[in-house]
């Protein structure tokens, strides 16, 4: 039976349980905020499960210290969003992560495998799915929610033991550890994309000035969303962002009329936006990576050629091709002719020379 913890003394007592391996999961809500609102932390230590209420006035310092210790291995499934939710508790992220979804991919069980399917495959347990979209901020939580939350960590020790053994047999333990460490590093940095305009390939034929304005507005939208903790589209959705970049409002009245319905674009933010649209671009703002054009026939042919090599290597290793190298990274490589940081480490030794040689032949 899982213990409900909403008092510091009870949490400290639970945290004193010995063990280097800790099963960890979270429940969070992200409906009307930029940052996820942490609603529950599920912890498994040595066969005991605690459901920790972060909405209570708890001192989480001891737990944070333990989870941040490199000697502590936190077992999680598909941890990236949970790490985001845990960031107020773990400013330096976890000490060591064992992600069971990544491990399952290395073990040939499938790419992006969900927790329920993995538990069924490894443990033979068919978990309920009914509380996935519950309101986790309500109090008290229902018995069904409590059971669902506990099940999310009860099986993690068995998954860890099984998958760690498979990784050892297949020789992928170090690669898995490297990918988990890279995920933790991204969680620690939490840096916004400095070139957000690159994803708007429909604006590739815009003049450089308009592309620079688009980038300016994207950077402002991201910074504003973080500052006021509201979803980006509530401040400026993509259709109006593109519209304002190419056809700026004439004055404040025009901006007000064209921005109706944006729930988080209030007076101060509207004033900032109008100033950004009116202010001339500075020299440093014109120094950016231009938006790559829509893929033409030659690019599609070259991407296919690069992908064929990736598929061959993934098949040889018996791992999903997306785990080895995603199409997005191949597109980045083709456009920039620079080796993507995401393909460093073990992937570089397998892919770099062959892929770069193919590019040099074009």
Q: What is the pLDDT of residues 166-194, one digit of tens each?
A: 999 999 999 999 999 999 999 988 888 89
pLDDT, averaged across the chain: 94
Q: What is the pLDDT of residue 92?
A: 84
Q: Which residues of 6-26 are buried (b: 16+ CB within 10 A; e: fewer)?
A: eebeebeebbeeeeebbbbbb
Is the bond preceding residue 219 a cis peptide, omega within 30 degrees? no
Tokens of 237: 């959705």
Q: What domains are defined for the chain?
A: 3-189 (3.30.420.10), 196-286 (1.10.150.80), 297-360 (no CATH)
Average pLDDT over residues 278-301: 90
Q: State pLDDT tens for residues 192-218.
A: 889 999 989 999 999 999 999 999 999
- Report d(CA 321, CA 194) in Å as an integer: 28
Closest-CA residue to 156 (of 96, 115, 128):
115
Q: What is the pLDDT of residue 191?
A: 81
Average pLDDT over residues 29-58: 96
- Report d(CA 242, CA 271) in Å as an integer: 18
- Report d(CA 355, CA 349) in Å as an integer: 11
Q: What is the pLDDT of residue 134?
A: 86
Percent share of the chain, pLDDT over 90: 86
Distance spanning both ends of the chain, measured CA to CA? 62
Average pLDDT over residues 21-26: 98
Is residue 161 predicted with pLDDT exceeding 80?
A: yes
Q: Which residues contact 316 (CB under 8 A, 6 or more apart)?
A: none
Q: What is the pLDDT of residue 351?
A: 97
Q: What is the pLDDT of residue 144?
A: 93
Runs of H (alpha helix) within the chain: 8-15, 61-68, 80-86, 100-106, 115-123, 143-154, 156-170, 173-189, 208-228, 232-235, 238-246, 252-258, 267-278, 297-317, 321-324, 327-336, 346-360
Is residue 110 predicted with pLDDT exceeding 80?
A: yes
Local confidence band at 307 (pLDDT 50, 70, 90 cut-offs): very high
Is the whole-model pTM more than 0.95?
Answer: no
Q: What is the pLDDT of residue 133?
A: 76
Long-range contacts of 239-244 (CB under 8 A, 24+ apart): 241/214, 241/217, 242/200, 242/202, 242/203, 242/214, 244/217, 244/273, 244/277
Average pLDDT over residues 271-277: 97
Q: What is the pLDDT of residue 360?
A: 87
Is residue 117 predicted with pLDDT exceeding 80?
A: yes
State the sign of the Cα–Cα–Cα–Cα dihedral 97, 98, 99, 103. positive
- Report d(CA 73, CA 61) in Å as an integer: 18
Is residue 282 predicted with pLDDT exceeding 90?
A: yes
Backbone angles phi, psi at 108, to 5 degrees: 80, 20
Is residue 229 predicted with pLDDT exceeding 90?
A: yes
Local confidence band at 361 (pLDDT 50, 70, 90 cut-offs): confident
Local confidence band at 294 (pLDDT 50, 70, 90 cut-offs): confident
């Amino acid at each position: 039976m899982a213990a409900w913890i909403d008092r510091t003394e009870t949490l400290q007592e639970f945290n004193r349980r010995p063990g280097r391996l800790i099963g960890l999961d979270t429940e969070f809500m992200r409906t009307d905020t930029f940052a996820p609102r942490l609603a529950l932390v599920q912890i498994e230590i040595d066969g005991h499960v605690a459901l920790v209420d972060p909405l209570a006035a708890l001192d989480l310092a001891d737990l944070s210290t333990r989870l941040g210790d490199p000697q502590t291995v936190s077992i999680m499934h598909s941890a990236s969003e949970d790490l985001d939710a845990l960031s107020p508790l773990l400013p330096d992220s976890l000490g060591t992560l064992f992600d069971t979804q990544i491990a399952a991919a290395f073990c040939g069980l499938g790419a992006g495998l969900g927790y329920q399917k993995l538990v069924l495959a490894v443990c033979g347990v068919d978990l309920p799915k009914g509380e996935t979209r519950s309101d986790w901020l309500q109090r008290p939580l229902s018995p069904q929610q409590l059971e669902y939350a506990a099940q999310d960590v009860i099986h993690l020790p068995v998954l860890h033991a099984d998958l760690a053994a498979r990784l050892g047999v297949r020789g992928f333990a170090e690669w898995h550890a490297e990918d988990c460490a890279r995920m933790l590093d991204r969680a620690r940095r939490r840096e916004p994309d400095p070139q957000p305009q690159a994803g708007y390939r429909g604006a590739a034929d815009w003049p450089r000035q308009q592309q620079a304005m688009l980038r300016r507005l994207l950077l402002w939208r991201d910074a504003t969303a973080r500052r006021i903790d509201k979803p980006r589209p509530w401040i400026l959705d993509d259709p109006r962002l593109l519209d304002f970049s190419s056809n700026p409002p004439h004055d404040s009245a025009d901006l007000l009329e064209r921005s109706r319905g944006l729930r988080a674009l209030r007076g101060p933010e509207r004033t900032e936006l109008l100033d950004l649209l009116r202010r001339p671009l500075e020299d440093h703002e014109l120094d950016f990576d231009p938006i790559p054009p829509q893929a033409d026939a030659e690019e599609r042919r070259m991407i296919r050629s690069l992908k064929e090599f990736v598929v061959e290597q993934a098949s040889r290793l018996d791992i999903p091709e997306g785990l080895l190298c995603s199409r997005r990274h191949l597109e980045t490589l083709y456009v920039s002719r620079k080796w993507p940081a995401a393909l460093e480490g073990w992937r570089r030794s397998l892919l770099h020379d062959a892929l770069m040689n193919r590019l040099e032949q074009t």
